[in-house]
Structure 1
Amino acid sequence: MGRRQKPNLIYIFADQWRRQAVGFEREDDVLTPNIDAFALEGTIFSNAVTCSPLCSPHRASMLTGKYPNSTGVYTNCKVGADVSLSQDEICISEVLAENGYQTGYIGKWHLDLPELNETDQPVSGAAGWDAYTPPGPKRHGFQYWYSYGAWDEHLTPHYWQDCPEKINVNQWSVEHETDKAIHYIQSRRDDQPFALFLSWNPPHSPFDQVPEKYRKLYNRERIRLRENVNQSAFSVHTGEAMDGGMEELKDKQLNYFAAISGIDDHFGRILKYLKEEKLEENTIVVLTSDHGEMMGSHGLMAKHVWYEESIGVPFCIRWPKKVPQIRTDLLLNTVDIMPTLLSLMKLDVPDTVEGNDLSGCILNQQISGPEEAYMCAYPGRKEAIEAFQKAGLNNREYGWRAIRTHEFTYVIHHGYAPGDEQIRLLYDLQKDKYQLHPEHIDYPESHPIAKELERKLCCWLVDLNDPFYRRLMDRQTCINVTPKKRI
C-alpha cells in the first residue's frame, strides 16, 4: 500500500461520557444531531464497554491493548500513588509513527506521574494531579503535543507543548482543542498520512463549567431521570456522600447534557472540515469515551462501578466505503481498540497486545465475536492504599472483577478496605435493563449460570496473573482453573 493510500486516523474520546447519553441510543434526553448523523454513516457498537471505568487505567489500556494489571496503571495517576504509564510500553501511537504516520495528541493525557509526587515546586507550575510530559519516550511516539495531565478547569484550561512554560487559555476546552485539532490537520504534510488523538475532558465534572448557549438547549424540568435513579441522596462508590439532593442532581444532569451537546457542536466542525478538504473518504474517524457517569443511578455519582451507566461507552467508527453502516452487538472492550484499528489500517499488531482484533467482524458484518468482556477495578485512593499496607495486605487483591456477556453481568466484589465483606452479584441484562434486581450468589457451584460465569472470570484472573484470584483461593471461594491462552 502506497503512502498516499494509507488511511488517516482521527480518534476522539471524551471523559466520563456514558453510552446512554447520546441521541441515537434513545435513552437519555440529550441532543446530539451531528453525532447521530455521523453514527448512521458507520458502525455503531451498542455493547462497547471499558475494561476499567476510571480515566488512567482505561487510557493506558486503550493505547497499549493491555489490561490494567499488565500495564501497572490500575488506578488514576495521582498524588500519593506511584502509578504512570511506563515508557517501555508499546502504544498504538508508536506503531503508527514507525509506519510513517504524522502523530498528534491534543487534550487530557493523565498517564504521567503527577509532578508533585517528585517535587514540591515543579518548574512547569503543575499542581494537584497535573503533569507536564516532556518530549521523549513518555510521549510514546506522539510527535505533535498540546496537552496536560489532569486538571479540571474547563473554561480556563492550560496546556504544555515542548517546554515547561504553561499555556493559559480563556476558552472552553472543547472549543479550544477543536481549534487546535483543525489547525493540526491544516498544517500537516500532505505526503504522509496522519493520526490525531483528541481527548476532550468534558462532560467530566465539574459539570457547571459549560458555555451558557448549550445550557439553553435544555429545560431542567423536562429532563427525565433514569428509572434507576430511585434515591434522594447520592454518594460515590466508596460511600462518601455527595452534596445536595435531587434538585442538585437535576442541575448536574442538565449541565452534563449541555456539555455533551457542546461536544456534538464541535465534533460537527471537525466533520465539516474533513468534508470541505475532501479528506473524509480516506480518514477513519472514531468517537468514543473512556468510561461513563452514574449521574444518580443506584444512588451513585461518578464511575468505578460495574453498572451499565459506568462501564458502557458510546463507540462509533466511520470509514466511508470500507466500514459498513450498521449497528452491531459485538462486545467491544477497551483492549480491543488498538488491535482492531491497526488491522483495519493493515499494520502489524504487536505481540504484547492482549485484546481481540475485531476488524474482520466489522468488515464482514459478523455477529459472532468475543463471548465476554473482562472488567476490573482496584482500590486506589491514598487512604485505602495506606490502610491495606498497614494491614500487611496487597490492595490489588481487592476491589471488584466482573464478566459482562450479552445477557449477564457477573461481579465478585471484595471491597475497597481491609475487612470488607465479599459479595457475588448476577444481573440479567435482558430481563432487568436497569439492574435493579441483582441475584446475590452465595454458592456459585450450585447455580448453573453463576457457575459458568465464575469459571470464565477465574480463567481471566489466572491468565492475567491478577492477584485478586490468589485472594479468592485463600478464602476457598473461587473455582480452581488452569490457565488458558486467549490471545
Structure 2
Amino acid sequence: MDSQQKPNLLYIFADQWRRQAVGFEGEDPVLTPNIDAFAREAAIVTNALTCSPLCSPHRASLLTGKYPISTGVYTNCKVGADVMLSPEEICISDVLARSGYRTGYIGKWHLDLPERNMTDDPLSGAADWDAYTPPGPKRHGFDYWYSYGAWDEHLSPHYWKDSPEKINVQQWSAEHETDQAIQFIQNRNGEQPFALFVSWNPPHSPFDQVPEKYKKMYDRNQIVLRENISSSSLSVHTGESIGGGIEELKDKQLNYFAAVSGIDDQFGRLLQVLKEEGLDSNTIVVLTSDHGEMMGSHGLMAKHVWYEESIGVPFCIRWPNVIPEMRTDLLLNTVDIMPTLLRLLDLEIPMSVEGTDLSGFLLNREKGGPEEAFISAYPGRKEVIEAFQEAGIDNREYGWRAVRTHDYTYVLHHGYAPGDKLVRYLYDLRTDPYQRQPERIEHISDHLLARELEIKLQHWLKEMKDPMITKLEVM
C-alpha cells in the first residue's frame, strides 16, 4: 500500500460530553443536526465507555492503549500531583509518525506536568495546571502542535506552538481550534497521509462560556430534567457540596446543551472541508469524548463516578464504503480505541497495548466482542493524597473499580479517605436504566450474580496489579 492510498485519520473528541447529550440518542433535548446526519453514515457504538471518567487518565489511555494504573496517569496532571504521560510510552501518534503520517494535535492536551510544579515563574506564562509542552519526546510524534495543557477560558483561550511564546485568542475555543484544523487539512502535503487529533474543551465547565447564538437555540422553560435528578442540593462525587438548586441546574443544562450545539456547528465545518478537498471517502473520522457529565443526576455534577452519565461517551466512526453504517452494542473501552484504529490503518499494534482490537466487529458487523469493560477511579486531590501518605497508605488502594457488562454495572467502592470501608453495588441496567435502585451487596457468597461479577472484577485487578486487590479476599 503506497502512501497515497493510505487512509487519513481525523479524530475529534470533546471534553465532558456525555453519551446522552446528542440528538440521535433521543435522550437529552439537544440539537445536533450535523452530528445526526454524520451518524446516519457511520457506525454508532452505543456502549462506548471511558476506562476512567477523568480527563488525564482517559487521554493517556486513549493514546497508549493502556489502563491508568499502567500508564501512571491515574489522576489529573495538576499542581501538587507528580503525574504526567511518560515520554517513554508508545502512543498511537508515535506509530503514525513512524509510518509516514503527517501528525497534528490541536487543543487541550492535559498530559504534561504543570509547570508550576517545577517553578513559580514559567517562561511560557503557564499558570495553575497549565503547561507548555516543547518539541521533543513529550509530544509523542505529533509534529504539528497547536495546544495547551489545561485552562478553562473558553471565550479567551491561549495556545503554544513551538516556542514558549503564548498565543492569546479572543474567540470561542472550539471555533478557533476548528479554524486551525481546517488550515491543517487545506495546507497538507497531498503526497502524505495525515492523522489529526482535535481536542475541544467545551462542553466542559464553566458552562456559561459559550457564544450567545447557541444559547438562543434553547428555551430555558422547556428544559426537561432527567428522571434521576434526585436533589436540589448538588455535590461532586467525593461529597463536597457545590450548592445550587433545580433552577440553577436548568441554567447549567441550557448552557451545556448550547455548547454541544456549538461543537456540532464546528463539526459540520470540518466535514464540509473534507468534502471540498475530496478527502471524505478516504478519511476515517471519529467523533467522541473523554468522559461524561452528571449534570444533576443523582444530585451530582461533573464526573469521576460510575454512573452512565459519567462513564458513557458518544462514539461514531465513519469510513465510507469500508465501515458499514450501523448501530452496534459492542462494548468499546478507551484502551480499545488505539489498537482498533491502528488495525484499520493496517499498522502494527505495539506489544505494550492492553486494549483489544475491535476492528473486525466494525468492518464485518460481527456480534460478540468483550463481555465487560474494566473502569477505575483513584483518589487524586492533593490534600487527600497527603492524608494517605501521612497514614502510610497507598492512595491507589482506594477510590472505586467497576465492571460494566451489557446488562450490569458492578462496583467496588473503597472511598476517598483512610479508614473508609469497602462497599459493593450492583446495578441492573435492563430494569433500572437510570440507576436509581442500586443493590448493596453485603454477602457475596449468598448472591450468585454478584459473585460472578466479583470474580470478573478481581481478575482485572490482578491482571492490572491494581493495589485494591490487596484489600479483598481473593476469589
Whether the aligned pair in 2 keeps the contact of 1:60 and 1:85 (CA below 8 Å) is: yes
Whether the aligned pair in 2 keeps the contact of 1:454 and 1:479 (CA below 8 Å) is: no
Cα distance between partner residues in 2 of 1:262 and 1:395: 39
Cα distance between partner residues in 1 of 2:106 and 2:278: 23
Structure 2 match to 1:358: 358
Structure 2 match to 1:123: 123
Structure 2 match to 1:312: 312
Cα distance between partner residues in 2 of 1:183 and 1:277: 12
Whether the aligned pair in 2 keeps the contact of 1:4 and 1:192 (CA below 8 Å) is: yes
| Equivalence map 1:280-299=2 (5 Å) | 280-299=280-299
Structure 1 match to 2:324: 324
Letter in 2 for 1:324: P
What secondary structure does 1:75 align onto?
coil
What secondary structure does 1:107 align onto?
strand
Cα distance between partner residues in 2 of 1:389 and 1:79: 17
Structure 2 match to 1:410: 410
Cα distance between partner residues in 1 of 2:14 and 2:315: 11
Cα distance between partner residues in 2 of 1:321 and 1:444: 49
> 1:257 deviation in Å?
0.2
Cα distance between partner residues in 2 of 1:471 and 1:202: 38
Matched, 1:199 2:199: yes
Whether the aligned pair in 2 keeps the contact of 1:62 and 1:334 (CA below 8 Å) is: yes
Structure 2 match to 1:420: 420
Worse-superposed segment, 237-246 or 155-164: 237-246
What secondary structure does 2:264 align onto?
helix
What secondary structure does 1:46 align onto?
strand
> 1:245 deviation in Å?
1.1
Structure 1 match to 2:269: 269
> 1:445 deviation in Å?
2.2
> In the TM superposition, what whole-angstrom CA distance separates every residue of 1:38-65 from its partner, at most 9, and x where no partner exists?
0110100000000000000000000000
> 1:177 deviation in Å?
0.2
Structure 2 match to 1:215: 215
What secondary structure does 1:299 align onto?
coil
Structure 2 match to 1:336: 336
Cα distance between partner residues in 2 of 1:4 and 1:443: 60
What secondary structure does 2:4 align onto?
helix
Letter in 2 for 1:19: R
Letter in 2 for 1:187: N
Cα distance between partner residues in 2 of 1:231 and 1:222: 20
Identity of aligned residues (%): 74
Cα distance between partner residues in 2 of 1:208 and 1:445: 49
Structure 1 match to 2:400: 400
What secondary structure does 2:470 align onto?
helix
Name the Cα RMSD after superposition. 0.5
Letter in 1 for 2:304: H
Cα distance between partner residues in 2 of 1:124 and 1:272: 35
Whether the aligned pair in 2 keeps the contact of 1:14 and 1:199 (CA below 8 Å) is: yes
Whether the aligned pair in 1 keeps the contact of 2:230 and 2:299 (CA below 8 Å) is: yes
Structure 2 match to 1:378: 378
> 1:470 deviation in Å?
1.0
Matched, 1:13 2:13: yes
What secondary structure does 1:242 align onto?
strand
> 1:23 deviation in Å?
0.3
Structure 2 match to 1:456: 456
Cα distance between partner residues in 2 of 1:192 and 1:86: 28
Letter in 2 for 1:451: R
Cα distance between partner residues in 2 of 1:445 and 1:112: 44
Letter in 1 for 2:142: F
> 1:185 deviation in Å?
0.6
Cα distance between partner residues in 2 of 1:256 and 1:417: 32
What secondary structure does 1:411 align onto?
strand
Whether the aligned pair in 2 keeps the contact of 1:281 and 1:319 (CA below 8 Å) is: yes
Letter in 2 for 1:331: L
Unaligned stretches of 5+ residues in structure 2: none
Structure 2 match to 1:153: 153
Aligned length: 475
> 1:446 deviation in Å?
1.8
Structure 1 match to 2:77: 77
Cα distance between partner residues in 2 of 1:173 and 1:31: 20
Cα distance between partner residues in 1 of 2:223 and 2:133: 41
Structure 2 match to 1:251: 251
Matched, 1:241 2:270: no
> 1:367 deviation in Å?
1.2
Whether the aligned pair in 2 keeps the contact of 1:42 and 1:316 (CA below 8 Å) is: yes
Structure 2 match to 1:186: 186
> In the TM superposition, what whole-angstrom CA distance separates every residue of 1:148-192 from its partner, at most 9, and x where no partner exists?
000000000000000000000000000000000000011111100
Structure 2 match to 1:475: none
> In the TM superposition, what whole-angstrom CA distance separates every residue of 1:359-405 from its partner, at most 9, and x where no partner exists?
01111101110000000000000010000001110000100000000
What secondary structure does 2:235 align onto?
coil
Cα distance between partner residues in 2 of 1:186 and 1:403: 43
What secondary structure does 1:103 align onto?
strand
> 1:243 deviation in Å?
2.9
Letter in 2 for 1:390: E
Whether the aligned pair in 1 keeps the contact of 2:186 and 2:277 (CA below 8 Å) is: no
Cα distance between partner residues in 1 of 2:363 and 2:319: 11
Structure 1 match to 2:390: 390
Unaligned stretches of 5+ residues in structure 1: 473-477, 481-487
Question: What is the TM-score with the length of structure 1 in the denominator?
Answer: 0.97
Question: What is the TM-score with the length of structure 2 in the denominator?
Answer: 1.00
Structure 2 match to 1:50: 50
What secondary structure does 1:298 align onto?
coil
Cα distance between partner residues in 1 of 2:346 and 2:444: 43
Cα distance between partner residues in 2 of 1:118 and 1:257: 38
